[in-house]
Amino acid sequence: MKFNVGTVDRALRIVAGLVLIALAATGVVGWWGWLGVIPLATGLFRFCPAYTLLGINTCPLKNNP
């Protein structure tokens, strides 16, 4: 699996995911806050399936695994 999520994109996804999960866990937002797992996972794995479908790549690495 090739990386397609860059450094800044990755950091924003992880922070947004954690914030959404925290808000859902504390009851501030409804069940939809648990959808924060998606940006958190894509940030941690540095791979976004939607980016692949759309042909987007924010990762600056040329030779990634």
In this model, does residue 63 exceed pLDDT 60?
no
* Model pLDDT, residue 65: 61
Average the pLDDT over 9-30 and give the result: 97
Read off the pTM: 0.87
Average the pLDDT over 19-38 and give the result: 97
Residue 35 to residue 11: CA distance in whole angstroms: 17
- Calculate the average pLDDT of the chain: 92
Q: Domain limits of the chain?
A: 7-54
Residue 15 to residue 33: CA distance in whole angstroms: 13
Average the pLDDT over 18-45 and give the result: 97
Q: Hey, what amino acid is at 62?
A: K
Is the distance from CB of 54 to CB of 10 less than 8 angstroms? no
In this model, does residue 35 exceed pLDDT 60?
yes
* Model pLDDT, residue 9: 95
Q: Hey, what amino acid is at 16?
A: A
